[in-house]
Amino acid sequence: MTRTDPAELTAKLVQCASVTPVEGGALTLLQELLTDAGFSCWRVDRNGTPNLYARWGDKAHPQSFGFNGHTDVVPIGEESDWTKAPFGAEIVDGFMYGRGTTDMKSGVAAFAAAAIDFVRDTPPDGAIILAITGDEEGDATDGTTALLDWMDAEKEAMSVCLVGEPTCPDHMGQMMKIGRRGSLSAWFDVEGKQGHSAYPHRALNPLPAMVRLMDRLASHELDQGTSHFDASTLAVVTLDTGNPATNVIPAKTSACVNIRFNDDHTGASLSQWLRDQAATVDVEFGTKTSVKIKISGESFLTPPGPLSDLIAKAVEAETGNTPELSTTGGTSDARFVKSHCPVVEFGLVGKTMHAVDERVEVAQIHQLKSIYTRILADYFA
């Protein structure tokens, strides 16, 4: 029987220039492949964002294993900086080059290939679901969230889910993610009164207030970490006044901070803390500060248990490495899936994701397919 080559599929996906939110033919390719393999497929596009839902087996079956991933990629930057064509999928010295080779078309190709061959070889008593979005690298408002909303309306469900994002820092099998920190960004606009710098008493300089506010935020210890999470962090990422004149006190200045937070906090509790800090500084300086906050995701944890044990066992069997259970890194679509079912992330080495000359070791794509195949076999055993 012909096997599904995950590296060949990765190359075909990379050659689809699916820079978010452009579909680029990637989901169309996957839909055709999965349909031919006996999967029922639906396009779940919303507000122009492309998404694909595929299921093999009965949706009413109480046992279903889900994979989640994305085919959209970040922009390539300056093409002249690349030594290989960004969408060429060229293989050199055992590495495939191209945008999305690591993040995460190889992961999608590996779980699609594993699922296709598994249902052909040993049709399971249960369902296998692939929920693939074209909106993970963008705003993520109409991607996996749209798929989950559609699943809820259609009574589709995953019992558990594996997100195929790159999770290993240096070598295969090194790390899996059982949770993620939350993320929020906050923008501050401090208003004072413009005036001549020689007569500061006639003006209200917003800059000292902003500097005091940023110092209060940046020097505050949010926590010392929890049992599964490192300490939360706050970074001042920009401070802008745009004042070219040295003899003018500006009327307004702006700044932004980003917080990555653990399960000691919620987006709401941190938002209130930020607003309280701004109000305190306003009282001290007589300024007026407006605060705008965007919560990208709450922290979450899938406690170590059957799902993480299942994946760790398969990873160890195929790589010889026992993966560390981690909650490090940025956000992923697992932050949405966690409200639907238990979710864990495991994928390739992510050293070159989003980088110029992004690349993946071809052998690792085949190894990842083997890991995913073993996970399916053990789950449905």
Q: What is the reported pLDDT for 1?
A: 62
User: Can you tell me the mean pLDDT for 159-175?
Assistant: 97
Q: Residues 149, 301: contact at Cβ < 8 Å?
A: no
| 3 state DSSP class of 233 | strand
Q: Same topology for domains 6-180+299-380 and 182-297, yes or no?
A: no
Over 80: is that where the pLDDT of 320 sits?
A: yes
- Tell me the domain boundaries of the chain: 6-180+299-380, 182-297
Q: Residues 241-290: pLDDT tens digits?
A: 999 999 999 999 999 999 999 999 999 999 999 999 999 999 999 999 99
**CATH T-level assignment (fold) for domain 6-180+299-380:** Aminopeptidase (3.40.630)
pLDDT value at 157 more than 80: yes
Give the tens place of pLDDT for each residue, 40-89. Answer: 999 999 999 999 999 999 999 999 999 999 999 999 999 999 999 999 99
Bridge-based pairing of strands 160-163 and 64-70 is parallel
Q: Which of 23, 72, 103, 345 is catalytic?
A: 72
pLDDT at 8: 98
CA separation for the pair 229, 231 (Å, rounded): 7
pLDDT of residue 330: 85
pLDDT averaged over every residue in the chain: 97
3-class DSSP state of 39: coil
CATH C-level class of 182-297? alpha beta
pLDDT in tens, 98-139: 999 999 999 999 999 999 999 999 999 999 999 999 999 988
Q: Is 215 among the residues known to form the active site?
A: no
Looking at 136, 137, 298, 358, which residue is catalytic? 136
Long-range contacts of 195-202 (CB under 8 A, 24+ apart): 195/248, 195/249, 196/247, 196/248, 196/249, 197/246, 197/247, 197/248, 197/249, 198/247, 200/249
- Per-residue pLDDT of 37-53, as tens digits, reads 999 999 999 999 999 99
Q: What percent of the chain has pLDDT over 90?
A: 97
Q: What is the pLDDT of residues 178-237, one digit of tens each?
A: 999 999 999 999 999 999 999 999 999 999 999 999 999 999 999 999 999 999 999 999
Does residue 316 have an active-site annotation?
no
Whole-number Å distance between alpha carbons of 336 and 343? 10
